[in-house]
Structure 1
């Protein structure tokens, strides 16, 4: 007889329907309410950048403004479009949650979970299978083994109690994490938009992302410890038999004591998930810095193709430092016949005898 649990998948599926509608409605409302404000802020931001560029307060204004425009286009597409945000950001975060929970909770059967609730149900199913084996063993007892039959039935009941004692708090923690994470996903467009205005507001996005990772790591750590705890019960109860010094009461206390230990491990796993996510948020490397590191190779290629050079300006005759493309636009290049003529005319022009005195050795 096989006992399989679909309890959390059933309950969680009902909850997810509500949460999905909540996230979708909240994200659309947030985007609709803040789009005008962000558009006005963007206009003011670019106007300020333009004034600073005209005033000479920004070096190389054109590449700088071009980079900012690309950033605004990309982040604006994520933060100000509900379909893009729900399809890219929300689904990616939920996929990460399920993937980590499934990866940290191997069951040895090769089945991949499609939701975090399936991972909890797998742990509950492991407990049910242990109880089912004990019930099957009791069913194989003969009339002359009525004492052993009662013992197996008692241990099966104890295992069912221990399974619920462990999985119910763990399931409640995970459901709570998903509800709170749904709130964060609903208001996520605001925090993603904070990346548009530089480091002063970008730190709010880092805090939002760290809190999302907090709930993801909590779910992964709880399901991992829950799966491991059920393996403890499997090892403990597979070959359990009453002995002269061990009665049913002793074995029941051992099972309940182990369930208390596993329950304590589940609570510690929740704290561990928070600490891991806190380490991600408080570390020196932030998401913006990782993006900056990814851009560095492109900058190296750009510097090689369009390096900084110093050439004599065709108009002023002064030495000018600028990018090669700037020199080419200004005509300060050997491809320009007028520039070649200008260089040849000034070649050796200042060589000659010293003027205004003599130089003694």
Structure 2
């Protein structure tokens, strides 16, 4: 009415609805915590539960997986040190068991420390992303800053997938330690070489450390592989905009735009069918019919004026 909005009416409606949704999520603590943060936490929990096989020994959380991995390593170290004590004055055997214990301790500590560091950093970074989340959601209100929301969403998804993949890797580490303990008998009477056991556990922990170091790249690849444009607010609102587009198409059929002669001014005027009916520019109006009949053929006939003679 005041001319402040220059865009079409339906565009204004879509922008208004989008702004209401954005403000509702960004400025309401309950909506943001329950819907946004809760959705990402549910995604993390759901993916972790889906990727981990449900057994009696399977850890329920990533922290439990780290504890179990460390516990398995400590059990192996205890066995090695006990065998070293039992070797007595057999210096070679005692040194072999101590070297095996040192290798197992180093590998177990490395897996636990690196895995714990990745988990803590991801959890802390995810908490920071959630803390500043309302600000980035508000940036969706302006087209020039909407890409910053895509970057924030990508980072949140990246850290979430990092935690999920780490949980799977640590569950695999626990299973690998169980398989190692079942296949290798570290008792002093078994005849098993302690150095060979140290090589095996060293190779196992080396592979696990390498996998843990690749987790961030895996998560970045998965999160970056999703088209952020497809996660934009325009596509998230596609069901609403699709319904509005269908309603607008139906409205054009029922209420099309046409050009008719205005009853008051006599000039040609463009407008919708309802606009013409309100203005009386319709054959239903007797005055309009009379006006049209009076003007039919009014300008027909021979050209008025003089003749041209040679």
Taking structure 1 as the reference length, what is the TM-score of the superposition? 0.62
Please name the residue that 2:258 is paired with.
Answer: 311
Q: Is residue 75–residue 192 contact of structure 1 (8 Å, CA) maintained in 2?
A: yes
Determine if the alignment matches structure 1 residue 125 to structure 2 residue 71.
no
**How many Å apart are 1:205 and its aligned residue?**
1.1
Please name the residue that 2:150 is paired with.
Answer: 206
Please name the residue that 1:271 is paired with.
Answer: 217
| Alignment CA distance shift 1:166-1:333 (3 Å) | farther
Q: Is residue 23–residue 138 contact of structure 2 (8 Å, CA) maintained in 1?
A: yes
Describe the superposition over 1:206-265 as per-residue Cα deviations: whole angstroms up to 9, x where unpaired: 111111112111111222222223333333432224799961111111111210111111
**How many Å apart are 1:332 and its aligned residue?**
6.2
Please name the residue that 1:167 is paired with.
Answer: 112
Determine if the alignment matches structure 1 residue 320 to structure 2 residue 267.
no
Which of 215, 228, 232 is equivalent to 1:287?
232
Describe the superposition over 1:308-360 as per-residue Cα deviations: whole angstroms up to 9, x where unpaired: 523344736747364xxxx33552699x874587469748x758997458xxx
Taking structure 2 as the reference length, what is the TM-score of the superposition? 0.71
Q: Secondary structure at the match of 1:238?
A: helix
Please name the residue that 1:299 is paired with.
Answer: 244
In structure 1, C-alpha distance between the alignment counterparts of 2:207 and 2:2, rounded to whole Å: 63
CA RMSD of aligned residues (A): 4.5
Please name the residue that 1:92 is paired with.
Answer: 39
Map 1:42-81 to 2 at 5 A: 51-53=3-5, 57-58=6-7, 60=8, 62-81=9-28
Structure showing greater Rg:
2
In structure 1, C-alpha distance between the alignment counterparts of 2:290 and 2:180, rounded to whole Å: 93
**How many Å apart are 1:190 and its aligned residue?**
1.3
Q: Secondary structure at the match of 1:286?
A: coil
**How many Å apart are 1:95 and its aligned residue?**
2.6
**How many Å apart are 1:177 and its aligned residue?**
1.3
* Number of corresponding residues: 283
- Gaps of at least 5 residues in structure 1 are 1-48
| Alignment CA distance shift 1:189-1:328 (3 Å) | same
| Alignment CA distance shift 1:123-1:310 (3 Å) | same
Please name the residue that 2:206 is paired with.
Answer: 260
In structure 1, C-alpha distance between the alignment counterparts of 2:54 and 2:110, rounded to whole Å: 21
- Gaps of at least 5 residues in structure 2 are 304-310
